Chain A
């Protein structure tokens, strides 16, 4: 199946713990993105990557980290420095030039 795969679907974080959210795409897009969505809110950009081994901070990067070692993969780590991590996390790919972005199914992160 073609598309963007996020895992896990649900994730629970303990106090002081780092957790990593996976995002894989087989659409051959150069650009990938991570967004956070809180209830009743729009999407806020955490990080984006236009090409392998390169990424830029978005509007709310504090407490998060990413890597882009392969074109297909863009994992997001939510560190213990992120004090309010409970949210719906969405990975997207595409969007270069005038092209639209497409989203994975999302990961819902909660604090234990």
Chain B
């Protein structure tokens, strides 16, 4: 059973705070992990990807991966109202094709 679980939210954080988004996956052989941002009515946009255990930073975004715990997270520092969107976690299965997506976490950054 291939499952990717996310808390649906909404997660509400004040402007300037750190937003922490979490994702767990069931397939221990999963290879690659992606975070997509989706604004209402728009298509998903890739913002981060991570392949190895540990942290990966890109600007205000940090992706964290723990394969032993089957857990991946996204931290957004200095959150801005423009970060308000749904964040989708996606995982590549062992076959290496077609991503498995979580249902997404809605983030609201309040001014």
Contacts and interface: CB of A to CB of B under 8 A. Distances in A.
Contact of B97 (A43, A48, A105): A48
A102 B32 contact: no
B21 to A, nearest CB: 14
Interface string A12-43: 00000000000000000001010100001111
Interface string B50-88: 010000000000000000000000000000000000001
A63 B72 CA distance: 34
A97 B101 contact: no
Interface residues of B, number: 23
A105 B41 CA distance: 9
A105 B43 CA distance: 5
Contacts of A43: 44, 88, 99, 101
B34 A100 contact: yes
Interface string A84-112: 00000010000111101111111000000
A42 B104 contact: yes
Contacts of B31: 98
A70 B87 CA distance: 33
Contact of B98 (A40, A41, A45, A102): A45
Contacts of A35: 101
B46 interface: yes
Interface of B: 4, 8, 31-32, 34, 42-46, 49, 51, 88, 90, 92, 96-99, 101-104
Report, nearest first, the 9 A-B pairs whose CB atoms are least far apart.
A42-B103, A42-B101, A98-B32, A43-B101, A103-B43, A106-B43, A48-B98, A100-B46, A45-B98
